[in-house]
């Protein structure tokens, strides 16, 4: 009986360890409809998962900055955030800036990101990019020297980015500060 109990406890502990290191990696996400991203990121916020931005996160994808707590987001050196005004399709089939949606989008961003956008003239039809040292000064760097195992994709995963469980190498854990 003790053997069965010990085995069950070990399995539960290992399963919990895998879940506690679950992350969502965002890379090459060009955005989409604001409402869709708000819904996705609210689920991500409540999941407790970490977010790695590792590549392009543009347009509505950038809502992640306001939806997920700052301490659960990290950026790699390849991270690039693209911001622009919200738009709708006009009667002639062309993009027309939507001032109300643009203001809503802007208000979702954390204060340092809003200041950065304001210093560049605000959200306009032209994309502006936050990356490199300026981005890394706002968000903690990601340490990706861990082994990653992909999880099965779901509809949400494809829209948010690749979902992974990070299983750190024990030697890596020993080197990292608490």
pLDDT confidence bin for 159, thresholds 50/70/90? very low
What pLDDT digit, counting tens, does each position of 48-93 carry?
899 999 999 999 999 999 999 999 999 999 999 999 999 998 888 8
The candidate with the shortest Cα–Cα distance to 130, out of 115, 143, 142, 144, is 115
Tell me the two tokens of residue 88.
Answer: 């709708």
- The pLDDT tens digits for 119-147 are 999 999 999 999 999 999 999 999 764 43
d(CA 69, CA 2): 42
The Cα diameter of the chain in Å comes to: 74
Is residue 171 over pLDDT 50?
no
Q: What is the value of pTM for the model shown?
A: 0.69
Is a pLDDT exceeding 90 seen at residue 151? no
**Domain architecture of the chain: domains with CATH:** 23-166 (3.90.226)
At residue 160, does pLDDT exceed 70? Answer: no
């Amino acid at each position: 009986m003790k053997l069965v109990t010990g085995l069950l406890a070990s399995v539960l502990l290992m399963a919990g360890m895998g879940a506690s290191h679950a992350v969502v990696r965002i890379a090459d996400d060009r955005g989409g409809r604001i409402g869709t991203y708000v819904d996705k990121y609210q689920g991500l916020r409540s999941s407790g998962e970490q977010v790695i931005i590792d590549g392009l996160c543009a347009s509505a994808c950038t809502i992640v900055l306001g939806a997920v707590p700052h301490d659960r987001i990290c950026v790699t050196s390849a991270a690039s955030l693209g911001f622009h005004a919200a738009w709708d399709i006009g009667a002639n089939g062309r993009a027309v800036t939507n001032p109300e949606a643009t203001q809503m989008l802007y208000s979702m961003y954390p204060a340092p990101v809003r200041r950065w956008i304001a210093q560049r003239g605000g959200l306009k039809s032209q994309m502006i990019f936050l990356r490199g040292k300026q981005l890394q000064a706002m968000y903690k760097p990601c340490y990706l020297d861990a082994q990653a195992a992909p999880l099965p994709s779901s509809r949400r995963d494809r829209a948010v980015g690749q979902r992974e469980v990070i299983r750190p190498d024990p030697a890596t854990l020993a080197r990292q500060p608490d």
